[in-house]
Chain A
Protein backbone atom coordinates (compact mmCIF):
# COMPACT_ATOMS: atom_id res chain seq x y z
CA UNK A 1 0.00 0.00 0.00
CA UNK A 2 1.13 3.50 -0.69
CA UNK A 3 2.43 5.35 2.35
CA UNK A 4 3.35 8.95 2.92
CA UNK A 5 5.91 9.76 5.59
CA UNK A 6 6.63 13.10 7.17
CA UNK A 7 9.54 12.46 9.49
CA UNK A 8 9.52 15.86 11.20
CA UNK A 9 6.65 16.14 13.68
CA UNK A 10 7.69 19.71 14.49
CA UNK A 11 9.83 22.36 12.86
CA UNK A 12 10.72 25.89 13.85
CA UNK A 13 11.94 28.82 11.77
CA UNK A 14 12.83 32.41 12.41
CA UNK A 15 10.71 34.99 10.65
CA UNK A 16 12.17 35.90 7.24
CA UNK A 17 14.29 32.75 7.16
CA UNK A 18 13.87 29.67 4.99
CA UNK A 19 12.63 26.29 6.14
CA UNK A 20 12.29 22.93 4.39
CA UNK A 21 9.70 20.34 5.32
CA UNK A 22 10.37 16.76 4.31
CA UNK A 23 8.04 14.20 2.77
CA UNK A 24 8.76 10.78 1.37
CA UNK A 25 6.36 8.30 -0.11
CA UNK A 26 6.33 4.70 -1.08
CA UNK A 27 4.66 3.61 -4.28
CA UNK A 28 5.06 1.27 -7.20
CA UNK A 29 2.97 3.50 -9.43
CA UNK A 30 4.57 5.73 -12.01
CA UNK A 31 1.73 8.18 -12.45
CA UNK A 32 0.50 10.20 -9.51
CA UNK A 33 0.16 13.66 -8.04
CA UNK A 34 1.59 15.17 -4.89
CA UNK A 35 0.25 18.04 -2.83
CA UNK A 36 1.14 20.11 0.19
CA UNK A 37 -1.71 21.37 2.34
CA UNK A 38 -1.58 23.87 5.17
CA UNK A 39 -3.84 23.61 8.22
CA UNK A 40 -3.79 26.72 10.43
CA UNK A 41 -5.40 26.74 13.89
CA UNK A 42 -8.70 27.58 12.22
CA UNK A 43 -8.71 23.93 11.08
CA UNK A 44 -9.16 24.70 7.39
CA UNK A 45 -7.18 22.61 4.92
CA UNK A 46 -5.62 24.95 2.38
CA UNK A 47 -3.83 23.82 -0.75
CA UNK A 48 -0.31 25.23 -0.86
CA UNK A 49 1.23 23.64 -3.94
CA UNK A 50 0.87 20.65 -6.25
CA UNK A 51 3.23 18.59 -8.40
CA UNK A 52 2.53 16.20 -11.23
CA UNK A 53 4.84 13.18 -11.14
CA UNK A 54 5.37 13.29 -14.90
CA UNK A 55 6.76 16.81 -14.70
CA UNK A 56 10.44 17.14 -13.97
CA UNK A 57 10.25 20.83 -13.23
CA UNK A 58 9.67 21.64 -9.58
CA UNK A 59 6.48 23.52 -8.81
CA UNK A 60 6.66 27.03 -7.38
CA UNK A 61 3.98 29.26 -5.85
CA UNK A 62 5.36 32.60 -4.68
CA UNK A 63 7.39 31.88 -1.51
CA UNK A 64 6.61 28.16 -1.66
CA UNK A 65 8.53 25.71 -3.79
CA UNK A 66 9.08 21.98 -3.87
CA UNK A 67 12.06 19.75 -4.44
CA UNK A 68 10.62 16.74 -6.21
CA UNK A 69 12.96 13.78 -6.55
CA UNK A 70 10.96 11.04 -8.24
CA UNK A 71 13.61 8.35 -8.09
CA UNK A 72 14.14 8.97 -4.39
CA UNK A 73 10.37 9.32 -3.85
CA UNK A 74 10.92 12.57 -2.04
CA UNK A 75 8.77 15.69 -2.12
CA UNK A 76 9.99 18.44 0.20
CA UNK A 77 8.45 21.87 0.66
CA UNK A 78 10.61 24.95 0.94
CA UNK A 79 9.16 28.10 2.47
CA UNK A 80 11.22 31.21 1.81
CA UNK A 81 11.00 34.48 3.73
CA UNK A 82 8.88 32.83 6.40
CA UNK A 83 6.06 34.88 7.82
CA UNK A 84 4.13 34.60 11.06
CA UNK A 85 1.08 33.57 9.06
CA UNK A 86 2.93 30.50 7.81
CA UNK A 87 2.65 28.91 11.24
CA UNK A 88 0.44 25.86 10.80
CA UNK A 89 0.35 22.09 10.36
CA UNK A 90 1.59 21.07 6.93
CA UNK A 91 0.44 17.85 5.29
CA UNK A 92 1.94 16.10 2.35
CA UNK A 93 -0.56 14.18 0.22
CA UNK A 94 -0.37 11.57 -2.51
CA UNK A 95 -3.01 10.96 -5.13
CA UNK A 96 -3.26 8.34 -7.87
CA UNK A 97 -5.79 6.21 -9.66
CA UNK A 98 -5.74 3.65 -6.85
CA UNK A 99 -5.24 6.01 -3.90
CA UNK A 100 -7.27 9.19 -4.24
CA UNK A 101 -6.37 10.55 -0.83
CA UNK A 102 -3.32 9.50 1.19
CA UNK A 103 -1.89 12.00 3.69
CA UNK A 104 1.21 12.10 5.84
CA UNK A 105 1.04 12.60 9.60
CA UNK A 106 1.83 16.29 9.32
CA UNK A 107 4.56 18.67 10.44
CA UNK A 108 3.78 21.46 12.86
CA UNK A 109 5.64 24.62 11.83
CA UNK A 110 6.33 27.36 14.34
CA UNK A 111 7.50 30.77 13.14
CA UNK A 112 9.44 32.82 15.68
CA UNK A 113 9.32 36.62 15.47
Chain B
Protein backbone atom coordinates (compact mmCIF):
# COMPACT_ATOMS: atom_id res chain seq x y z
CA UNK B 1 0.00 0.00 0.00
CA UNK B 2 1.17 3.50 -0.76
CA UNK B 3 2.01 5.59 2.25
CA UNK B 4 1.41 9.28 2.76
CA UNK B 5 2.79 11.14 -0.23
CA UNK B 6 4.12 14.65 0.08
CA UNK B 7 5.42 16.98 -2.57
CA UNK B 8 7.77 18.57 -3.17
CA UNK B 9 10.46 16.90 -1.11
CA UNK B 10 12.55 20.04 -1.13
CA UNK B 11 11.54 23.63 -1.81
CA UNK B 12 13.81 26.62 -1.97
CA UNK B 13 12.27 29.99 -2.63
CA UNK B 14 12.76 33.63 -1.94
CA UNK B 15 11.15 35.59 0.79
CA UNK B 16 7.76 36.96 -0.17
CA UNK B 17 6.88 34.16 -2.55
CA UNK B 18 3.87 31.91 -2.15
CA UNK B 19 4.65 28.36 -1.15
CA UNK B 20 2.28 25.43 -1.58
CA UNK B 21 2.94 22.07 0.03
CA UNK B 22 0.90 19.06 -1.02
CA UNK B 23 -0.18 15.89 0.67
CA UNK B 24 -1.99 12.73 -0.34
CA UNK B 25 -3.08 10.72 2.71
CA UNK B 26 -3.42 6.98 2.88
CA UNK B 27 -6.65 5.84 1.31
CA UNK B 28 -9.32 5.19 3.93
CA UNK B 29 -7.76 7.37 6.59
CA UNK B 30 -10.18 9.95 7.95
CA UNK B 31 -7.72 12.19 9.82
CA UNK B 32 -5.04 14.35 8.29
CA UNK B 33 -2.43 16.33 10.19
CA UNK B 34 0.10 18.99 9.25
CA UNK B 35 3.22 19.34 11.40
CA UNK B 36 6.21 21.63 11.32
CA UNK B 37 9.60 20.46 12.61
CA UNK B 38 12.41 22.80 13.60
CA UNK B 39 15.44 22.40 15.81
CA UNK B 40 14.19 25.07 18.18
CA UNK B 41 10.55 24.04 18.54
CA UNK B 42 10.57 20.35 17.69
CA UNK B 43 7.49 18.85 16.08
CA UNK B 44 4.51 21.21 16.22
CA UNK B 45 0.97 20.33 15.20
CA UNK B 46 -0.27 23.09 12.91
CA UNK B 47 -3.74 21.89 11.95
CA UNK B 48 -5.72 18.72 11.56
CA UNK B 49 -8.75 17.62 9.57
CA UNK B 50 -11.40 15.01 10.14
CA UNK B 51 -13.32 13.89 7.08
CA UNK B 52 -11.94 16.89 5.17
CA UNK B 53 -13.17 19.38 7.78
CA UNK B 54 -10.62 21.44 9.74
CA UNK B 55 -11.02 20.62 13.41
CA UNK B 56 -8.29 22.58 15.13
CA UNK B 57 -6.05 25.18 13.53
CA UNK B 58 -4.80 26.72 16.75
CA UNK B 59 -1.27 25.67 15.89
CA UNK B 60 -1.15 27.69 12.70
CA UNK B 61 1.42 30.37 13.46
CA UNK B 62 -0.27 33.30 11.73
CA UNK B 63 -2.57 34.37 8.96
CA UNK B 64 0.09 33.83 6.35
CA UNK B 65 -0.53 30.11 6.76
CA UNK B 66 -3.61 28.39 5.39
CA UNK B 67 -4.56 24.78 4.84
CA UNK B 68 -7.27 23.14 2.80
CA UNK B 69 -8.56 19.67 2.21
CA UNK B 70 -10.89 19.77 -0.79
CA UNK B 71 -11.37 16.00 -0.80
CA UNK B 72 -10.36 12.87 1.07
CA UNK B 73 -7.27 12.31 -1.02
CA UNK B 74 -5.63 15.71 -1.12
CA UNK B 75 -4.57 18.54 1.16
CA UNK B 76 -2.48 21.67 0.77
CA UNK B 77 -0.62 23.92 3.15
CA UNK B 78 0.06 27.40 1.82
CA UNK B 79 2.31 30.13 3.08
CA UNK B 80 1.80 33.56 1.59
CA UNK B 81 3.96 35.59 1.81
CA UNK B 82 6.78 33.35 2.96
CA UNK B 83 9.46 34.53 5.39
CA UNK B 84 12.90 33.11 6.31
CA UNK B 85 11.59 32.02 9.72
CA UNK B 86 9.19 29.66 7.96
CA UNK B 87 12.15 27.51 6.97
CA UNK B 88 11.52 24.06 8.42
CA UNK B 89 10.54 20.53 7.55
CA UNK B 90 6.79 20.20 7.09
CA UNK B 91 5.20 16.82 7.61
CA UNK B 92 1.81 15.56 6.65
CA UNK B 93 0.40 12.57 8.52
CA UNK B 94 -2.81 10.59 8.31
CA UNK B 95 -4.56 8.11 10.53
CA UNK B 96 -7.68 6.04 10.82
CA UNK B 97 -9.54 7.50 13.77
CA UNK B 98 -8.39 10.51 15.75
CA UNK B 99 -8.64 8.81 19.06
CA UNK B 100 -7.43 5.29 18.89
CA UNK B 101 -4.34 3.19 19.14
CA UNK B 102 -3.87 3.51 15.41
CA UNK B 103 -0.70 5.50 14.85
CA UNK B 104 -0.25 8.44 12.58
CA UNK B 105 1.47 7.56 9.33
CA UNK B 106 3.86 10.25 8.20
CA UNK B 107 4.99 11.32 4.78
CA UNK B 108 8.65 11.93 4.08
CA UNK B 109 8.26 15.63 4.71
CA UNK B 110 9.01 18.75 2.69
CA UNK B 111 12.19 20.61 3.56
CA UNK B 112 11.37 24.27 3.00
CA UNK B 113 14.07 26.89 2.76
CA UNK B 114 13.11 30.54 2.47
CA UNK B 115 15.99 32.76 1.41
A101 and B91 contact, Cβ closer than 8 Å, known pairs A50-B103, A52-B101, A95-B99: no
Is A35 a contact of B103 with CB atoms below 8 Å? Answer: yes
Chain B residues whose C-beta falls within 8 Å of the C-beta of A68 in the assembled complex: none
Mark the stretch among B16-24, B40-48, B65-73, B74-82 that contacts chain A.
Answer: B40-48
Chain B residues whose C-beta falls within 8 Å of the C-beta of A50 in the assembled complex: 101, 103
Supply 12 A–B pairs (Cβ within 8 Å), ascending by A. Answer: A43-B108, A43-B111, A45-B104, A45-B106, A50-B103, A52-B101, A100-B98, A101-B33, A101-B35, A101-B104, A103-B35, A104-B42
Number of B residues with CB within 8 Å of any CB on chain A: 21
Determine which of B31, B89, B111 lies in contact with A100 in the assembled complex, contact meaning CB atoms within 8 Å: B31
Cα–Cα distance between A35 and B103 once the two chains are bound (Å)? 8
Is B108 a contact of A96 with CB atoms below 8 Å? Answer: no
Cα–Cα distance between A90 and B31 once the two chains are bound (Å)? 23
Is B108 a contact of A101 with CB atoms below 8 Å? Answer: no
B93 at the interface (CB under 8 A from A): yes
User: Which chain A residues (22-58) contact chain B, with CB distance < 8 Å?
Assistant: 33, 35, 37, 42-45, 47, 50, 52
Chain B residues whose C-beta falls within 8 Å of the C-beta of A97 in the assembled complex: 98-99
Cα–Cα distance between A50 and B111 once the two chains are bound (Å)? 28
Determine which of A96, A101, A102, A104 lies in contact with B93 in the assembled complex, contact meaning CB atoms within 8 Å: A101
Is A106 a contact of B106 with CB atoms below 8 Å? Answer: no
Determine which of B43, B89, B91, B103 lies in contact with A47 in the assembled complex, contact meaning CB atoms within 8 Å: B103
A105 at the interface (CB under 8 A from B): yes
Chain B residues whose C-beta falls within 8 Å of the C-beta of A75 in the assembled complex: none
A103 and B108 contact, Cβ closer than 8 Å, known pairs A33-B100, A45-B91: no
Cα–Cα distance between A95 and B101 once the two chains are bound (Å)? 8
